[in-house]
Structure 1
Amino acid sequence: MKLASIKTPTSRDGVLVVVSQDLSRYAVVSDIAPTLQYALEHWSRCEPLLQATSAALNADTNSGEAFSAQHAAAPLPRAYQWCDGSAYLSHAELVRKARGAEMPAMLYHEPLLYQGGSDDLSGPHDPIYIAADDWGLDLEAEIAVITDDVPMGVSVEQAHAHIKLVTLVNDVSLRLIMKPELTKGFGFYQSKPSTAFAPVAVTPDELADLWRNSALDASVVSHVNGQKLGAPNAATDLNFNFAQIIAHATKTRNLKAGTIIGSGTVSNRNPEQVGSSCLQEIRMLETIATGEAITPFMTYGDVVRIEALDANGDSIFGAIEQTVEAYAPA
């Protein structure tokens, strides 16, 4: 089934709805769960009722209301936890190669993970607000999963069953703020503004053969101002799947229901054929080839579009489409 949160002035967490497979219609399910967070916290009771609603909605094409991604919030407009990984080491290798640095050996054996801001997550059509256009604004197309309660010390085999939903992410980055921030040795903060999410989150059973070994076998297509950046496959060249990342995340702590885990920028080892999922990777390839990055970062008025497509070219989660706007403090 496909789930979404519709924006409402009365709730910061939106209203939970079930969306049809073709993303054209929805049914409000407040009688089952008022919000997605509630559903995740009561998944064993809510999931079969939501699945029944989904089956009925898909069986009757005249049922439900017209679904518009314009009205969708992030599936979890605010979450208890947003953790992002770096599961595609080809991406990390390029970044280090461009600056003449070696990859730490431990990154090939243990997932890299950081804890991002989760109190203000953007919907698929919310603007990307920045207060200055010289901060190196970049997109990062990623896959993410949402869990139920995961106990500390869970095994990789056990972790797979705790993945309840899969979705698509634009993990916005400010590259020119990120570099000096990282030199402090204490991770990201200012360089990571609000992360945006696709209109819907999808249960693994709905993905069928596209979901294997805790990875999504689908192309992630990114555009800026209508120009295609790339369409790498999210299951190809994946060094750590989501079960492995979750097991790593629970080594010393529990994960509570509603935790979101990101894959990091989707990247394949043949970007010359499939392209890239962020401008920084394109700039690194240019630097390696010519000694200079040519492609500019995004600025005011630019439009980014990210979409995951199945083998038929159909959108799985709906598209993230955001316009960069100048932020003016109140």
Structure 2
Amino acid sequence: MKLASYADGSRDGHLVVVSRDQTQAHYASGIATRLQQVLDDWGFIAPQLQDLSVQLNHGKLRHAFPFEPAKCLAPLPRPHGWAVVNADGAVRREAGALLGAGMPLRAAARCEPALMVIAGDLQAASDAAAALDALRLMGLAVDWRVDGELVATHAAPLVVTPDELGDAWAAGRLQAKLVALHNGSKLAPRDVAAVPADALVRLARLRALRTGQLAGVALGALDLTLAPGDSLHLDLKSADGHASLFCAIDLDLTPPAA
């Protein structure tokens, strides 16, 4: 299933289920209103959302409506932590809220995309099998840094269960293509191979992970820094470059006031 949080004036937004083709959505009201509720009672709530997803994909929900990514907050706006695991195994532990995919930046910054992983509770020193079993949802995020300091983290509109990834997901590994457009000009696509369970094992090496903790698998910094007036389109697609897995992050860097 695919999930998103629609802006409704609250800090957490309202949970919606999104169709497989990302064209339709339906409020999850009556099942759960926030993603954190789902994570806290995954075994009970997730199957109900899955049933709703099946009905939505078959066009059987009368109150479905067109999905609009621009109306989304980050899927989990207030996580219990955000930590990114680099390719060398080093961990960067961050803090703070996640921003929606369209929230503008206010200062020039360096772009560091990551596969975002949401897991259930995971005991300290868990192995890869336990970590994979605890994996709930995945998405796309991007850290923005100025002089090495984190200034913002944006998240793509959707988080999805592994079964929604199709051929992009096999044996616990995501194989995809990172596509970026800077001011409308396409950068060279980058092949991505990520093993989320390995990142979770690394984070849980010394302490247990709590439901709602977000783990990131670093996908390598883009060789660019946004300047005032710039725009960036960032998307993680299927390996053939056709299907968007999590919807794109579209950002503008606000020009200075006149």
Structure 2 gaps, min length 5 = none
Call closer, same or farther: CA 1:61–1:31 in 2, change over 3 Å.
closer
Instruction: Provide the rounded CA distance (Å) in 2 between the counterparts of 1:305 and 1:210.
Output: 21
> SS at 2:106's partner residue?
strand
Aligned to 1:252: 206
Cα deviation for residue 61 of structure 1 reads 7.1
- In the alignment, is the contact (CA less than 8 A) between 2:7 and 2:73 conserved in 1? yes
| 2:250 counterpart letter in structure 1 | E
- In the alignment, is the contact (CA less than 8 A) between 2:2 and 2:19 conserved in 1? yes
Match of 1:307 among 235, 249, 254: 235
TM value normalised by structure 1: 0.73
Larger CA Rg, structure 1 vs 2: 1
Instruction: Provide the rounded CA distance (Å) in 1 between the counterparts of 2:219 and 2:156.
Output: 15
Call closer, same or farther: CA 1:61–1:225 in 2, change over 3 Å.
farther
Aligned to 2:143: 171
Call closer, same or farther: CA 1:62–1:327 in 2, change over 3 Å.
farther
Call closer, same or farther: CA 1:17–1:327 in 2, change over 3 Å.
farther
Aligned to 1:201: 159
**In the alignment, structure 1 residue 69 sits paired with structure 2 residue 69:** yes
Cα deviation for residue 254 of structure 1 reads 1.1
Q: CA RMSD in A?
A: 1.8
Superposition misfits of 4+ residues, deviation over 6 angstroms: none
Aligned to 2:246: 317
Instruction: Provide the rounded CA distance (Å) in 2 between the counterparts of 1:318 and 1:85.
Output: 23
> SS at 2:245's partner residue?
coil
- In the alignment, is the contact (CA less than 8 A) between 2:180 and 2:233 conserved in 1? yes
Match of 1:150 among 89, 110, 122: 122
> SS at 1:244's partner residue?
helix
Aligned to 2:39: 40
**In the alignment, structure 1 residue 112 sits paired with structure 2 residue 90:** yes
Cα deviation for residue 40 of structure 1 reads 0.5
**In the alignment, structure 1 residue 215 sits paired with structure 2 residue 144:** no
> SS at 1:13's partner residue?
coil
Bigger shift: residues 25-34 or 212-221: 212-221
Higher share in helix: 1
Aligned to 1:60: 59
**In the alignment, structure 1 residue 50 sits paired with structure 2 residue 8:** no
- In the alignment, is the contact (CA less than 8 A) between 1:124 and 1:320 conserved in 2? yes
TM value normalised by structure 2: 0.93
Aligned length: 255
CA displacement, residues 127-153 of structure 1 (integer Å, 9 cap, x when unaligned): 1122xx5xxx12222211111111112
Structure 1 gaps, min length 5 = 88-106, 179-190, 267-276, 281-296
